[in-house]
């Protein structure tokens, strides 16, 4: 779910179903024409085999009868794909549902009222200029994922089931928008989508249709209000950051308090901690360090870090350098 300004729109792309249907129609018409021609050629072959004159009236009647038989076969044989079901009416009354595959109907008596697609469909719709509970005008774009599971009910119970599903989804979406404040609607998008899906599905079940999910894709709000929401979100993030920092400082203070109690009861531990701090300072390359008197008194007469040995080595090097200078003179 995204939020955009009032001048932006997000529309789902329209599929090329019209082109596919057109190609399918051309293919079916071509196949039926071919069947009629084959029957007509069969009539001509029978006429010639029977010995009728090439231009005699009997030969024409045989050819016409075979062509008529081919035409009736074309009208009788029907086919649907794996995902399609054909609703057949006989003399205006519902007769049966056929498909998938090849099936036969009685010409003139039977009529295919509709061919229903049982695959999952995705339909986009928009709830335009809808007021939230706190009187904010929004436009909401959404997608509806639905399918037909009972072709008979979908055709016989509702006049236009596709339009009925979209109108029901749009009505439920408008009702949901008007039931929440804008901030609540933005924060609880998933729960609201589930609520709308259940509401629409309960209505469409009697039509043999299942609404699997309704997904909100875009919420268009006034630009000024969008800037205000950005400021609010930034302030909320800063608030959470400061709260986390304060909680961390409280935790650190508690740890330091606990460590202080341990050092107060154990002089050796306090001494080791002091030496650790001094050692870290020396490793950092600090040229000057302030050391408490208590530490220097404890270190008096002790070569803890090898400082005395280092001082002796430096003194020896200075004496050697001084002797070399005297000899040079």
Q: Sign of torsion, CA 161 164 166 169? A: negative
Chain region(s) in the chain for CATH 3.30.479.30: 120-221
pLDDT given for residue 313 in this prediction? 62
Bridging pattern class, strands 101-104 and 77-80? antiparallel
Structure tokens of 16?
A: 């090329």
Residue 222 phi, psi (nearest 5): -55, 145
Alpha-carbon distances, residue 248 vs 234, 244, 253 (angstroms): 21, 6, 9
Note the pLDDT tens digit of each residue in 211-237. 999 999 988 887 776 666 666 667 777
pLDDT at residue 301 above 90?
no
Note the pLDDT tens digit of each residue in 190-212. 899 999 999 999 999 999 999 99
Q: E strands within the chain?
A: 2-4, 77-80, 84-90, 93-98, 101-104, 110-117, 121-131, 137-148, 209-220
- Fold for 120-221, please state it: Tetrahydropterin Synthase; Chain A (3.30.479)
- pTM (two decimals): 0.56
Mean pLDDT to the nearest integer, 160-186: 91
212 three-class SS: strand
pLDDT at residue 14 above 70?
no
Note the pLDDT tens digit of each residue in 252-270. 888 878 877 777 777 666 6
Mean pLDDT to the nearest integer, 80-102: 89
Structure tokens of 62?
A: 């045989």
């Amino acid at each position: 779910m995204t939020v955009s300004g009032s001048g932006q729109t997000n529309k789902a792309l329209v599929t090329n179903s019209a082109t596919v249907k057109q190609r399918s129609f051309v293919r079916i018409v071509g196949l039926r024409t071919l069947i009629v021609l084959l029957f007509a050629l069969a009539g001509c072959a029978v006429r010639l085999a029977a010995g009728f004159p090439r231009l005699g009236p009997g030969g024409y009647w045989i050819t016409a009868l075979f062509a008529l038989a081919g035409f009736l076969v074309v009208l009788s044989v029907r086919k649907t794909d794996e995902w399609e079901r054909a609703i057949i009416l006989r003399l205006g009354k519902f007769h049966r549902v056929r498909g998938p595959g090849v099936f036969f109907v009685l010409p003139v008596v039977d009529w295919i009222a509709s061919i229903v697609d049982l695959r999952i469909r995705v339909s986009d719709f928009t709830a335009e200029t809808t007021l939230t509970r706190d009187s904010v005008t929004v436009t909401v774009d959404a997608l509806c994922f639905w399918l037909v599971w009972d072709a008979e009910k979908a055709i016989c119970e509702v006049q236009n089931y596709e339009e009925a599903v979209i109108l029901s989804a749009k009505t439920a979406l408008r009702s949901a928008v008007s039931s929440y404040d804008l901030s609540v609607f933005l924060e609880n998008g998933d729960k609201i989508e589930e609520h709308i899906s259940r509401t629409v599905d309960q209505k469409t079940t009697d039509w043999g249709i299942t609404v699997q999910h309704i997904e909100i894709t875009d919420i268009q709000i006034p630009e000024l209000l969008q800037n205000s929401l950005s400021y609010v979100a930034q302030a909320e993030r800063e608030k959470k950051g400061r709260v986390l920092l304060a909680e961390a400082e409280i935790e650190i203070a508690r740890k330091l308090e606990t460590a202080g109690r341990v050092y107060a009861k154990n002089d050796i531990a306090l001494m080791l901690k002091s030496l650790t701090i001094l050692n870290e300072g020396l490793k950092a390359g600090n040229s000057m360090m302030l050391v408490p008197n208590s530490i220097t008194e404890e270190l008096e007469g002790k070569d803890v870090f090898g400082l005395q040995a280092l001082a002796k080595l430096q003194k020896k090097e200075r004496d050697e350098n001084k002797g070399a200078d005297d000899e040079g003179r």
